[in-house]
Each structure stands twice: as structure tokens, then as C-alpha cells.
Structure 1
Amino acid sequence: MTSRRIRIDVPALTRVEGEGSLRLEIKGNKLVELGLSIFEPPRYFEKFLEGREAREVVDIVARICGICPVAYQISALNALESLSTQAVSPWVQRMRRAFYCGEWLQSHALHIHLLALPDYLGFDNAIAMAERHPEEVKRGLKLQGMGNALIRLFGGRSVHPVGARLGGFHHAPSAETVADLVEKLKGAQEDARNLTHFCASLPLPDDPQSFICVALHHPDHYAMESGEIHTSTGLVLNAAQFEQHFHEHHKPDSTALWSDLDGHPYLTGPLARLNINHAQLPDFLQARLQEIGFQLPSSNMFHSLIARALEIELALHEAIRLLDEYAYPDAPYNSLFLEPGIGFGMSEAPRGLLWHRYALDDQGLIQAARIVPPTSQNQARIEEDLHRSLSRFGLNHDEDALRLRAEQVIRNYDPCISCATHFLRLEKHET
């Protein structure tokens, strides 16, 4: 075999949230260097929270991400409300889950139709794809619109919502408004079912790998807005135990923190959730698994596309179930008193586990904040996946083919790079 040495640089990854770059260097038929770099400027959002009143946190963290604001709000509320001896009402618990369903629905629909499908239908972008596949794009926009409507129902608006607060919501929607939305959600269920079958029919690469899955698990339902951490290695952890096993570290070519689980890369997100919680899917989705011949747990990251489609069906089902017998509450929130201390909270953002920690003083002010988003948790797994997937794909392919496969691998994780950028602590040593 003729030896060759090539270097492939992808200075700006396409169809991902935020900006990142990829370097590949191949010598002979071996990948000798691979680097996924996050070069967005740090955003200081944890520092912005210091000195703020606890009640301000929920609105500030909603600005961290335009795609996953609900996840940031719910994880923050779970952390802060853990410092109260009081509990939110059952109505608030149900409506927060419905609120969260909207985020899963809009985020997954956007990713599948506008970011991922062009890979499998042979187009560079969704605009070009729309000319040949207008119905698929229309379906995606419809499902995303349903998710936005759910977020707006409780959040007041679909981007950076402002309706959530400590103890519940600022306002409750009217029964008439809820009933109208429920009928529209029911009308979208056929689209969601067709989407699952469509995704399962695509020629997804067969690329099995071994990886650790991490997701929340709840004893009563498929975990979304609450639960304990379960891992495929058998760990069961509450939010306060997260830092005992999950560690962040810096890389010199990245403004993002990278995470490991006891020294190992791991996966969080829809496929990890499905692998850990598939037994809790409702009966109609258990039947759907049989219809499409989808075996779980799956070790193929390209099955993340199918996992997102199944979670769209789940989010619609859950939202309808929670809102079908909606009753206007006596009050949309409870006034909670927060004790000083350290609060921990987490939830399942569309992209995976989102963990928060807040230190609250006796004046009710935030003294310190730490947020670990899913993209930074997945980055070590992405690099590991790129090594294995590209080697399996065949390093003898031309540069364009290798570049496309690398981007496909990265898009499986739907990385939100902006969310992953943190302020890097500078340590200067002089002798």
C-alpha cells in the first residue's frame, strides 16, 4: 500500500449550534492526530449569577441557550428549590413536565429535519433539501411549531421564556387556551408517527461501538424534568453526588470544559436515555419499536436519529396526557423560603444531562454557581467516536468523504457549542 500523509481541517463545522473546528491528520492508513476544538469566546454566565438574588437566576439562565432555555430553568429551579423545606404543588410538577415536553419537541424536530436529514438525503443544507423534499421540511416545521407553542403556553414566549419562577409559574394559561392547543397536539401525532418510520427507513451507517451511557431515571415515568442519575455501569447517584464521579478539565485548544466519568468518556442524550429507560416507554411506543425493528439497547450512535424521533412521539403523548384534563389552579406558584446552603439540581435537556449547583448565603444571594451542560459532557465521547468511526469507515477515502463522515458523526450528538463555552481559570506559574 502506498503511504500517504494528509491533513484535513474543518475550520467551521456546519449544521451545529455554535462554532467549532476539527483537525484530522492521517499517515498511511492510520489516524495519527484528531482534535475537536471549541473556539467561541467564553461567556461568563456562571460569573454573571454571583451576587444575584435567587429569584433572578431562572430568568438569567434562560438566556444561556436559545434552543434549551427550559432545561436551564428547570435544572436551576430544581437546585434552588432543594434548599426549601416546602414542595411545589402537584399542579406545578405536572405543568413543568408539560413545559419541558415543548422543548424536547421543538429541539428534536429542528435537529432531525434541518440539521441531520440533509446528511442522509444527499444535500448540503436544509434549503437545498426543501426543493426535493418539501413535505419532510414542512413536517419538521410543523412539529417544531407545536413545541414552540407548548413553551409559549407557560413561558409567555418560545425563545428565552419568562413564565417560570421559584415555586411554579407567574401565570396559568386559561382552560380554553390549553384545550385548543391539546387538539393541535393530537393532530400532530400522525406526523410524529410517520417521522419515526421515515427515520427508521433511512440507510443509517452500521457502526457499533462500546460506550458508557448516562441518563436520569425516574421510578414512575420516562425521566425528563427530574430523576436520579443512572449509568450503564451500574452507578445510581443523586444530584449532590455528581461531582464525586464526574470531572471537568481543560484542553489547550478549547474554550470548553471536557468531562469524564471516573476517568472515562461517556454518552448523555437521547440514545443514552433510551438505552437506560426504554422499558418505561408507553405501550404504543413499545409496539413502535417492534414495527420498525429497533433493538434496544443500541450501540450505534447513528441510531440517535431514531431515538430523537421516538422522543418526539413521547413528548407529544406526555403533553397531551398532562393537559387533557387541565384545571385552572387556585394559584400557579407557592411562595417558598430558601435556606442558605448549597443546592444541586439537574434535568434532561434534549441533548442530555444538565447539572446545576448554587451556593446561597443568608441574604438570599448567589455566592457561587456551577453549570455542566450536556455538550461539554459529550465532547470526550465525540473524539473517541471520531477515532473509531473514521477508522471503521476507511481512512483511504478521499478528503471530502472523510470530512462528511466526520461531520455526520459530530451531528449525531447535536452539540450546542455555545452552551459548552466557559471561562477558563488561568494559572500562571513563575520561577
Structure 2
Amino acid sequence: MATDFMTEQQATKTGFPGPARLEGDAVLDLRIDNGRIENLTLHISEQSRLLAAFLEGRECFEVPDVVARICGTGPVAYQVSAVQGLEAALDCRPTPWIQAMRRVMCCGEWIASHALHIHLLAAPDFLGFPSLAEMSRDFPDEARRGLRLQNLGSELIRLFHASSSRSAGVRVGGFHHVPSKAQVRQLVERLRAALPDAEALVAWTGAIDLPRSEQAFVNVALRHPEEYAMCAGNIVSSTGLNIAAERFERHFQAHQNPPGAGYSLFDGKPYLVGPLARLNLNQDRLPDPVAEALRKTGIGFPSRNMFHSIVARAVEVHFAITDAIRLLDGYEPQMSYVGVQAHAGSGFGCTEAPQGILWHRYDLDVLGRVIRARIVPPAMHNQARIEEDLYGALQSFGPERSDADLRLCGEKVIRNYDPCTACSTDFLKLHAVRT
């Protein structure tokens, strides 16, 4: 993930070690005194990718293709947040059809990312398997269903000539290409056929015997007056915040502390973003069939159990399929983009990536070149909340346990938030000092 973009020279001056891209690595430092955790710090070194060398001085029209490479599981959200910010800076207003089709791509990303996380990471953790391969021996139908849903989400992204892992479909003002009616009609049929799978996924995750972990935390997400927020709306919180994206920096303090991970605080305190926070704040925006599937689980939302995130992901898979059908039903191709002229300006964008809100800011010069770019990704929003959760979980689990046991417990907690470090099942390096 990335926060303030830094040049290679700036990174060297701050003491940031290593290459510009570090994948799937996290370090948990613990200081344990007489059986009690006295200090806990989580370093997600992957959060800083030094992208200023690629963005600063470049034309704004190059930005969407560059930021799509920041996150392998959220390229669409990065592109859509970027073009929102750039279009605001350039006074460009895409048509309602373009906005709707961008939402379709985001639906595909939610389906693919959530299906992958549920079946590859979360379900094996909760059901006691070391990996999806072992889980599939006892749950072959569920594993195959997860792969079908993940593939469907990827196909929905590729509908706009975008790779499911390296999106290249979005441009400032619209799209590079739009699909034909025949392509869309075929995919809508597949989406309709997948609705029973999506409903069954909600029921299955709701029936898993999840750990009981009631916690007090602040939920933060987008909220739209008419729909389940994904690509538009104000930033709201469970404590009453309701602001437009351009006011983000007045309430959220985002920091980068090389060589440690970046983190963000809301009025000085940790907060939660992601599927559980979204569902807690937007349950009333779910369409009736999805709301009914959730009701049948018997799980009450808003929920303070962080492990209900797996259920929230399943609900959002069901929702995203339902919403994509709504948006594509009766599809007619239209102009793929609106014209835009480069000039100076500043703009902000904010969308809901699968992992949580993704905020962008861009400042452009008179030629439309990037002077400054800033991105606050989901992992940075959740960093302080993860540390807070880790402290409670490990203290309850027992600091006197072996380092190997503490590491495994910590991995399960971190994976539940779905930062990019969760790409592997064995990613956490534990440094424990006992006195």
C-alpha cells in the first residue's frame, strides 16, 4: 500500500530500507513483562511503494494505469478513486452511464476479492485447516463454489477489457472500451445463475462456529442516500461523522513512519473500515433478497464481533451480484468517455475497495501534470485498529505461550482485516522480548 508518495531520494533521507516494492511481509514486535504485553507494534513494510518516481511530473492521464498496479486484489478501486480525484480537479463530469458501469466493475472486484478471502484465508482459519487444499477434502462443494464465484467476479472486471489483477479499463473521463450487448447478455445470465451460490454462501458462513470477540470500535465507511455505498457517498462513522471526501484531512490523521507501517487515526483514535464496518453502517441499504438472506443467519447487525467480517463479505458477494444484474439489465452501449482538458486544480476521490475506504488526493499544474499525490489505503486506515485487536487477542490467548503459538494467533487476527500481507498463509515474523 502507499501513503504520501516519496521519491527514492526522499525515502533514503528518511531512512526507509529496502526496495520500492515489498510483498506479503509483516513483523510483530512484542515486549512481554511478567506475563503481560507491555508493548505491541505491527510493521507492515509493504505499505510504502515509493510511487512518486512514477507519478510526480507525469501527465494526469497516465495516473489510472499506474495506480492499478498498487494492489493485486483492488486495482479497480484504485483506478476509480484516482479518476474521481482527477476528474474533480479537471472539472470533468462523466455521464450517469459511465458512473454506473464503473460501479459494475467495482461489483466484480468485490465478488472476486471476497470469494478469494473467504475460501482461501478466513474459512480455513475458522474450520481448523492449514489451507484451502486441506479444507477442500472435507468441503469440496464449498471450495468449488468459492472458485466459481471468484472467477465470475474476475469475468465481470474483464468485461471492460481489464485484467482481473491489473485493471486497464478505466480512463479519466470514462473507459478505454465498452462491451457489446451480446457480451453483457451472456454475463448477466451467468450472474443470475450464480444467485443461489451467493445465497448459500451467506448461509454457510453464518453457520460457522466463529470465535466470540465482542469489542468496542468505531466504524467508518461511505454512505449514500439511496444505495449501498461503493463508488459514491459521504464518509460517515458510527459516532456521527458525515463529511465529503475533501474534508477527510480535517478529521483523519494519516502518518507514515519509516521504517514502520503507516497508520491513520480518526480524531486521534483507531477505527475500522471494510466489509464489517460497511454492513454495520449500511445494512438498511441492502436490497430485500440480500437482507432476507442475512436475516436467516440469525446474526444481528450492527455487530461488534470482528470475526463476523466473513459473514459481511458473503453478504457483499450476494449484494454485488444482485447489483450488477440491476445495473446491466437492459444494457445499451453508450459513449465510452467524455472529453476533458488538462489544467491546474486539486481534487479528491474516495471509493470502497473490498478491504475498506480508499482515499485519493491529486494536485495538478497548469499542464495537468501531477505536482503531488496522496493515497490513504484500507490497510493504513485499519493499522491502529489491528494493533488494538492484536493486543486484546494475544493478551487473552496467553502471552506465556510459545512464540509459534502467538504467531499463529496473530496471523488469524490480521488476516481477518484482509491487508495485502494476507496474500499468504504464513507471513508474520514475530519478535518477542520477554522479561
Fold shared, TM-score > 0.5 on shorter chain: yes
**1:274-308 deviation per Cα after TM superposition (whole angstroms, max 9, x unaligned):** 11111111111222232111211111100101000
Q: Residues 46 and 370 of structure 1 are in contact (CA less than 8 Å); yes or no, is this contact kept in structure 2?
A: no
Within-5 A mapping of 1:299-318: 299-318=304-323
- Equivalent-residue separation in structure 1 for 2:209 and 2:251 (angstroms): 37
In structure 1, the partner of 2:164 is 158
SS of structure 2 residue aligned to 1:267: coil
- Equivalent-residue separation in structure 1 for 2:162 and 2:194 (angstroms): 22
- Equivalent-residue separation in structure 2 for 1:364 and 1:226 (angstroms): 24
Q: Residues 89 and 362 of structure 2 are in contact (CA less than 8 Å); yes or no, is this contact kept in structure 1?
A: no
Q: Does 1:67 align with 2:73?
A: yes
**1:29-82 deviation per Cα after TM superposition (whole angstroms, max 9, x unaligned):** 422232212234842124421111111111111111111000000000110111
In structure 2, the partner of 1:202 is 208
In structure 2, the partner of 1:350 is 354
Q: Does 1:145 align with 2:135?
A: no
Within-5 A mapping of 1:200-239: 200-239=206-245
TM-score by length of 1: 0.89
Q: Residues 215 and 229 of structure 1 are in contact (CA less than 8 Å); yes or no, is this contact kept in structure 2?
A: yes
SS of structure 2 residue aligned to 1:188: helix
How far 1:343 sits from its partner (Å)? 0.8
- Equivalent-residue separation in structure 2 for 1:46 and 1:233 (angstroms): 35
**1:243-298 deviation per Cα after TM superposition (whole angstroms, max 9, x unaligned):** 111112244651x3111111101111111111111111111122223211121111
In structure 1, the partner of 2:278 is 273
SS of structure 2 residue aligned to 1:216: strand
How far 1:159 sits from its partner (Å)? 2.1
Percent of aligned pairs with the same amino acid: 51
In structure 1, the partner of 2:136 is 130
Q: Does 1:377 align with 2:381?
A: yes
How far 1:351 sits from its partner (Å)? 0.4
Q: Does 1:402 align with 2:406?
A: yes
In structure 2, the partner of 1:283 is 288
Q: Residues 46 and 371 of structure 1 are in contact (CA less than 8 Å); yes or no, is this contact kept in structure 2?
A: no
SS of structure 2 residue aligned to 1:154: coil
In structure 2, the partner of 1:425 is none
- Equivalent-residue separation in structure 2 for 1:268 and 1:338 (angstroms): 34
**2:395 is aligned with what amino acid?**
S
- Equivalent-residue separation in structure 2 for 1:290 and 1:162 (angstroms): 38
Q: Residues 80 and 338 of structure 1 are in contact (CA less than 8 Å); yes or no, is this contact kept in structure 2?
A: no
- Equivalent-residue separation in structure 1 for 2:80 and 2:48 (angstroms): 23
- Segments of 4+ moved more than 4 angstroms: 394-401
List gaps (5 residues or longer) in structure 1.
1-16, 420-431
How far 1:156 sits from its partner (Å)? 3.2
Q: Residues 47 and 369 of structure 1 are in contact (CA less than 8 Å); yes or no, is this contact kept in structure 2?
A: no
Q: Does 1:244 align with 2:233?
A: no
Within-5 A mapping of 1:314-333: 314-329=319-334, 331-333=335-337
**1:327-376 deviation per Cα after TM superposition (whole angstroms, max 9, x unaligned):** 121x1111123441111111000000101111111111111111110101
For residue 18 of structure 1, the aligned residue among 11, 16, 24 is 24
For residue 99 of structure 1, the aligned residue among 94, 100, 105 is 105
- Equivalent-residue separation in structure 2 for 1:46 and 1:18 (angstroms): 22
In structure 1, the partner of 2:19 is none
- Equivalent-residue separation in structure 2 for 1:384 and 1:288 (angstroms): 32
**2:228 is aligned with what amino acid?**
Y
- Equivalent-residue separation in structure 1 for 2:77 and 2:369 (angstroms): 22
SS of structure 1 residue aligned to 2:373: strand
Number of equivalent positions: 402
- Equivalent-residue separation in structure 2 for 1:336 and 1:293 (angstroms): 50
In structure 1, the partner of 2:396 is 392
Q: Residues 40 and 418 of structure 1 are in contact (CA less than 8 Å); yes or no, is this contact kept in structure 2?
A: no
C-alpha distance 218-47 of structure 1, shift in aligned 2 (>3 A): farther
- Equivalent-residue separation in structure 2 for 1:177 and 1:356 (angstroms): 32
Q: Residues 351 and 414 of structure 1 are in contact (CA less than 8 Å); yes or no, is this contact kept in structure 2?
A: yes
C-alpha distance 67-237 of structure 1, shift in aligned 2 (>3 A): same
- Equivalent-residue separation in structure 2 for 1:46 and 1:137 (angstroms): 40
List gaps (5 residues or longer) in structure 2.
1-22, 424-435
C-alpha distance 230-41 of structure 1, shift in aligned 2 (>3 A): closer
**1:111-161 deviation per Cα after TM superposition (whole angstroms, max 9, x unaligned):** 000011111121112222223322222111110000100100014322212
Q: Does 1:258 align with 2:263?
A: yes
- Equivalent-residue separation in structure 2 for 1:94 and 1:304 (angstroms): 27
User: Bigger shift: 30-39 or 194-203?
Assistant: 30-39
C-alpha distance 47-244 of structure 1, shift in aligned 2 (>3 A): farther
How far 1:398 sits from its partner (Å)? 5.3
Q: Does 1:363 align with 2:367?
A: yes
User: Bigger shift: 175-184 or 335-344?
Assistant: 335-344
SS of structure 2 residue aligned to 1:371: strand
**1:64-108 deviation per Cα after TM superposition (whole angstroms, max 9, x unaligned):** 111100000000011011124442111101101101100001000
- Equivalent-residue separation in structure 1 for 2:294 and 2:320 (angstroms): 16
SS of structure 1 residue aligned to 2:42: strand
**1:405 is aligned with what amino acid?**
C
Q: Residues 64 and 83 of structure 2 are in contact (CA less than 8 Å); yes or no, is this contact kept in structure 1?
A: yes
How far 1:206 sits from its partner (Å)? 0.7
